[in-house]
Structure 1
Amino acid sequence: MATPEKTGDVAVHDEIQPAPLTTTNTIPDEYRELDNGEITAEALGGMVDDLPKGYYRSMSFIGTMLALCLGQSSCYFGFVMPANVLTIINEDIGPNPNYVWIALIWNLTQAVAFVLVGRLSDLLGRRWFFVGGQSIGLLGSIIACTAHNVPVLIVGSAFIGIGAGVQLSFGMVVGELIPNKHRGFGISCIFVSALPLTVFGPVVIRSMILHMGAGWRWSYYFNVMLLTVVVALFYFCYHPPTYAMLHARRANHVSPWKMVDFVGVLLFTAGLLVLLLGISWGGSMYPWKSGMVIGFIVGGAAILILLVLWEIYGAGDYPLIPIHLFKNRQYMGTILTAAVGSMVYYSLLVLWPVQITMLYDTDSMAIGWKSCIVAGASLLGQGACGVLVRVLGKHKLQLMVSVSLLTAFTGAMAATTPETPGMAVAFIFLASTFLGYVENVALTIGPFCLDASDLGLALGLLGATRSTLATTAQAIFTTILSNKLVTNIPKYVVPAVLDAGLPQSSVTDLLTALAAGNMTGVPGITPGITAAATEGNKQAYSHSFQIVYLAAVAFGVCGVLAATNAPNSESKFTNVVQRKLHHTGFDNKTTKEAEA
């Protein structure tokens, strides 16, 4: 027996080292595992030509990809569609002033889930995180579809958000199982698979409300049915490398629990939740200067500082978030660029329907159709990136150009008025298209900045950063809009209604009635005054939105600067497959054996 060598406190014997991977092509040096044979040959993918014949036609692979596609659709049934009609939901099972938490809690829980799923599944294996995460989302959907008051629906949405954090982590699975050169195309295929709901979700949910007995609940009913299939597919088809395969040398000596940074998990979860709560409350539920907002923001930041100190000095060999990631300039440049795209995207999802309603249309279905533009154009950009990201190369330049155009067209929205609906639609379409392109480029090249064993961590931290900064931007843009309306509504409405003949004594009553959407009870009101008030209100909103879009330009400039640090990853687009599914019928077989 060979003399054991020491790896930390664990004795490693030659006979438990995994057999070398049999290949017919040489794996590029930059893709060789850096763990001295820690991962077994059964789990390693190698070159695509070395995979058994028929591997990509196996039930395990096809079922896994189908589960990812259906999981992406679940995000729209579970969040995007209900979020589009929150006021209608509140009228049905409320009214409750806390109904905004239906969307807010989803954002909070999915942001936390990104990092936890990414990092822990890197260490412990992904299978049960994906099966368990979808099961939690299924439980949330059952709670939501049976909810008869807002607090219960909020609880359901929290569970759905956890499931969404797993669903939106599909890049971890795609990045491992398909060749690196097709990673961008694979990601775009998952995005495009949800096309009907991505593009027409707002119209679908409004049609449900108009024509189906249970109305908005059907969104959750469909999600229950969808997630039942997803859970089954992941359970029966998704068999990625297990803990024992990922840690061949340590599996018999180190408990999986010792690889979980429980203190880091607690600090990260508490810090991010508290911080995001404070940011989300600011300017909406409470003034920014209120003790509640300041206390939560400062408290969340303090907990995250403690997290950093713990990760540096106390986490040991398996920190939740290794600090060296923040020293990786290329990786940080990529995820910050992606975060800027998300800051604009989630803000447009919220602000664009408001702009349509206040400036261009009041019909519910018409609003729904126009609201489809943001998600639909974003999907177009994601699909285009899947085709072009490898062909064009020069990924730093691709990011810089696409985020510059995103910024330019978002800023151009400041030139739109109530009289230019066509211009607004065109600029929103173009901005959203480049927004989707930015997102897919970042998801494709971001993990290339780190080791293959950190793929989940790379995408998890990217997702959490995007969610955090998107929530921050949404709060900032909403506050800017609210603050400008406070001054612009009196500025544009009052002179218009006085010129139309409204008595001075009725101005306050009119402004109150205008905010409520019904001016019929205002003393001295006439059809001409009503028309003047409506037109003045449009001008007030138009000028307020202009400031919001100009503010978005500042974030876009930051995105362009961040993109200058992104890598050119042409050399990474090879035939290498990082990991391999087992239980495919081809386990431990070479290509020749499979062909025999």
Structure 2
Amino acid sequence: MEIEKTTTRHMEEPVPKDEGLARLETRYTDNYHGVHLKTVLVYIAVCLIYFVQLFNVVGSGAYARNIAAAIGGAGEAVWLSQAIVIVTVVLGPPASQAADYWGRKVFLVIASLFGFVGALILSRATSMNMAIGGQVISSVMYAGQPIITAVASEIFPRKFRPIAQGGLNLGGAAGAIVGILAGSALTNNHLYGWRNYWYIVAALLGVSTMIIGILYRPPPRPLQQTLTLREKLARLDWNAYILLAVGLTLFTIGLSWGENPYPWSNVHVLAPLIVGGCFIIALIVHQTIKKDGLIHHDLFKNDRNFAVALGCFFADGMIFWAANNYFAFEVSVLYEHSPMLVGLRFCVAFFAAVVASCSVIFITLFTKSVREPIVVSFVMFMIFYVLMATANLRSANAMWGYPIFLGIGLGWSLTYLVTAAQLSAPPHMIAVTSGILLAIRSFGGSIALAIYTAIFNSSISTKLGAGTAAAVLPLGLPPPELERFIGALASNNQTALIQIEGVTPQIIGAGVHALQIAYLASFRGVWIAAAVFAGVTVIASCFIVNPKKDLNNHVDAPLED
């Protein structure tokens, strides 16, 4: 029996083909009749896929240097992370838009199979190019990430939506924790231990793909049954896909090459930046003119939450990738030599994220607040990066506590931003809404990675040589041996150090201290940039509207009749 509901929205319903598809005024009903076992099993399956995706993300950042140490290509190692963010941006929105026409399941299964194959290739890589190629193939699984987010929301009542998203983040945090601890154990004193890490990725993807293939059997969506293949293909925004793919790829290449290895004035940097920027501007113009394109104008009609969430998601991507790529790096260089303990320090953030995700249950049941947790999450990010920027060589113990602030931010930001944006959008656009959000987050991460890499490389290239020379040459190190000394010092190669002519324990000690000072200053530039991004987003997030009236009993896509 259906209970009448008060909310009225636009949603897409099937009508006879000769009449086309009209957007009709439809009244929501409280169609919630309890949570069934089938729904719970599907939710567990999508959480498992999310677990594997975060497992792979953490590995791409934390163990890129381990891969480079074994097979070379340290200068290109950043592309192991860049591949993920680029492929997510390029494939996420098209896949989420197409999922409304062909159904969710086929894209989830195919994306996960690509991830399985790519992980196997990466695990057997004999060169950095092969490793990056494997990661590119594996990254196709992130095309299913927005669909996972949509499925988790639409199979439960809207009042449980923050809890459903919190559970996804809980699975992601668990994947990050297991990834860090397992990876630390596998790479500790094992040059090729990272191969086993990606064997695990492949195994988990294989299991999760089988689970989703067997358990997830959703009823056909209205547009699946109503439209012909030609009509479905015509509804996809092909121009936007091309502009997005070309523009983002070129723009990211230009940013990544800035000071790594080319100067900003070099044609290798300027050409892709300019051409990529023109494609991105063309995409913005195209989406402004085309009202029913990839970024449908109806997404902005209900309230301002989708627009604000879009900006916050972009910043969230910029904020997260600073910690993902540089926290463990700084700890390993300055404070801790054991890979296991380095990983455990980073794990503190994800343990805090687990606690924060669990607290979503109580926040949702007792307050139904969305804006306040979002604001607090970005305040936590800002506190974390300010603390990191003020760290010194005596901050080893404090580095155990700083990640708690990062974890609280991670546990709340994605949960509530996704909830606010999805509730703001028409229900038939929940998948493409999730796709655009996660794409803009990855786009922010892609740009931020290039910015952080340029900041760090520019700083370390000037400070390390000058600082080390000033510290060791007065102590008697022969000038011709300076370059070898710095190289051995930076790679922590004790055997090479003691073979350098004129080296003494005093010189090595002075060199280590100079190296630490140079790295500390270089990391500080990254943390300051991330803190600024977080501070601006705190202000922007205050404009989120609390959608309490939409947290009702309606289920957008029930699995049970």
TM-score interval, smaller chain: 0.7 to 0.9
Please state whether the residue corresponding to 2:204 is helix, strand or coil. helix
What CA deviation, in whole Å up to 9, does each residue of 1:232-251 have, x standing for no partner? 232232233435x2377x53
CA distance in 2, matches of 1:400, 1:83: 27
Look up the equivalent residue of 1:267 and give its one-letter code: L
> Aligned match of 2:266 in 265, 290, 298?
290
Q: CA separation of 1:182/1:489 partners in 2, compared to 1, >3 Å: closer, same or farther? A: same
Cα shift at 1:386: 4.7
Q: CA separation of 1:498/1:391 partners in 2, compared to 1, >3 Å: closer, same or farther? A: farther
Cα shift at 1:212: 8.7
Cα shift at 1:451: 0.8
**Residue 18 of structure 2: aligned partner:** none
> Aligned match of 1:320 in 294, 316, 320?
294
> Aligned match of 1:464 in 436, 439, 443?
439
**Residue 9 of structure 1: aligned partner:** none
Look up the equivalent residue of 1:406 and give its one-letter code: F
> Aligned match of 1:142 in 120, 125, 141?
120
Aligned residue pairs total 549
Cα shift at 1:122: 2.9
> Aligned match of 1:482 in 457, 463, 474?
457
**Residue 208 of structure 1: aligned partner:** 186
- Alpha-carbon contact 2:253-2:272 (below 8 Å) kept: yes
- Alpha-carbon contact 2:67-2:192 (below 8 Å) kept: no
CA distance in 2, matches of 1:539, 1:92: 27
**Residue 517 of structure 2: aligned partner:** 539
CA distance in 1, matches of 2:192, 2:453: 31
What CA deviation, in whole Å up to 9, does each residue of 1:386-427 have, x standing for no partner? 542453344323322331232133112222111121223322
> Aligned match of 1:258 in 234, 254, 257?
234
- Alpha-carbon contact 1:260-1:318 (below 8 Å) kept: no
Q: CA separation of 1:370/1:39 partners in 2, compared to 1, >3 Å: closer, same or farther? A: farther
What CA deviation, in whole Å up to 9, does each residue of 1:81-119 have, x standing for no partner? 254222332344445754443332222112222212222
Q: CA separation of 1:513/1:392 partners in 2, compared to 1, >3 Å: closer, same or farther? A: same
Q: CA separation of 1:291/1:131 partners in 2, compared to 1, >3 Å: closer, same or farther? A: same
Cα shift at 1:222: 2.5
What CA deviation, in whole Å up to 9, does each residue of 1:352-380 have, x standing for no partner? 11211221012232222223234433343
**Residue 216 of structure 2: aligned partner:** 238
CA distance in 1, matches of 2:217, 2:144: 16
Q: CA separation of 1:339/1:377 partners in 2, compared to 1, >3 Å: closer, same or farther? A: farther
**Residue 304 of structure 1: aligned partner:** 280
TM-score (norm 2): 0.88
Cα shift at 1:334: 1.6
- Alpha-carbon contact 1:77-1:219 (below 8 Å) kept: no
- Alpha-carbon contact 1:345-1:432 (below 8 Å) kept: no
Q: Does 1:361 align with 2:318?
A: no
Please state whether the residue corresponding to 1:388 is helix, strand or coil. helix
Which range moved further: 525-534 or 389-398?
Answer: 389-398
- Alpha-carbon contact 2:187-2:194 (below 8 Å) kept: yes
**Residue 252 of structure 2: aligned partner:** 276
Q: Does 1:57 align with 2:37?
A: yes
Cα shift at 1:463: 0.6
Q: CA separation of 1:186/1:350 partners in 2, compared to 1, >3 Å: closer, same or farther? A: same
Look up the equivalent residue of 1:64 and give its one-letter code: V
What CA deviation, in whole Å up to 9, does each residue of 1:531-566 have, x standing for no partner? 111112212222333333222222122202221321
Structure 1 vs Structure 2: percent identity of aligned residues?
Answer: 21
Q: CA separation of 1:123/1:287 partners in 2, compared to 1, >3 Å: closer, same or farther? A: farther
CA distance in 2, matches of 1:232, 1:325: 34
Q: CA separation of 1:247/1:544 partners in 2, compared to 1, >3 Å: closer, same or farther? A: closer
CA distance in 2, matches of 1:471, 1:380: 28
- Alpha-carbon contact 1:276-1:468 (below 8 Å) kept: no
Q: Does 1:553 align with 2:531?
A: yes
- Alpha-carbon contact 1:381-1:433 (below 8 Å) kept: yes
Gaps of 5+ in 2: 16-20
Cα shift at 1:452: 0.9
> Aligned match of 1:422 in 374, 377, 397?
397
Bigger radius of gyration = 1
**Residue 47 of structure 1: aligned partner:** 30
CA distance in 2, matches of 1:220, 1:537: 32
- Alpha-carbon contact 1:390-1:570 (below 8 Å) kept: no
Q: Does 1:109 align with 2:87?
A: yes
Please state whether the residue corresponding to 1:26 is helix, strand or coil. strand
Please state whether the residue corresponding to 1:579 is helix, strand or coil. coil
**Residue 569 of structure 1: aligned partner:** 547
Q: CA separation of 1:467/1:145 partners in 2, compared to 1, >3 Å: closer, same or farther? A: same
- Alpha-carbon contact 1:121-1:129 (below 8 Å) kept: yes
Please state whether the residue corresponding to 1:27 is helix, strand or coil. strand
Cα shift at 1:351: 0.8
Cα shift at 1:36: 8.4
CA distance in 1, matches of 2:502, 2:305: 64
Please state whether the residue corresponding to 2:111 is helix, strand or coil. helix
TM-score (norm 1): 0.83
Q: CA separation of 1:431/1:468 partners in 2, compared to 1, >3 Å: closer, same or farther? A: same
- Alpha-carbon contact 2:122-2:130 (below 8 Å) kept: yes
| Superposed CA RMSD | 3.1
Q: Does 1:350 align with 2:328?
A: no
Look up the equivalent residue of 2:304 and give its one-letter code: R
What CA deviation, in whole Å up to 9, does each residue of 1:12-49 have, x standing for no partner? xxxxxxxxxxx521123235636587799xxx994244
What CA deviation, in whole Å up to 9, does each residue of 1:182-219 have, x standing for no partner? 11111222232355432142231232345999732223
Q: CA separation of 1:266/1:438 partners in 2, compared to 1, >3 Å: closer, same or farther? A: same
Q: Does 1:435 align with 2:410?
A: yes
**Residue 358 of structure 2: aligned partner:** 383
Cα shift at 1:468: 0.9
**Residue 176 of structure 1: aligned partner:** 154
Look up the equivalent residue of 1:566 and give its one-letter code: I
Q: CA separation of 1:214/1:357 partners in 2, compared to 1, >3 Å: closer, same or farther? A: closer
CA distance in 2, matches of 1:375, 1:539: 28
Look up the equivalent residue of 1:321 and give its one-letter code: I
Matches within 5 A, 1:65-214: 65-94=43-72, 98-167=76-145, 169-209=147-187
Gaps of 5+ in 1: 1-22, 588-596
Please state whether the residue corresponding to 1:29 is helix, strand or coil. strand
Cα shift at 1:508: 5.4
Look up the equivalent residue of 1:88 and give its one-letter code: N
CA distance in 1, matches of 2:238, 2:9: 31
CA distance in 2, matches of 1:374, 1:309: 39
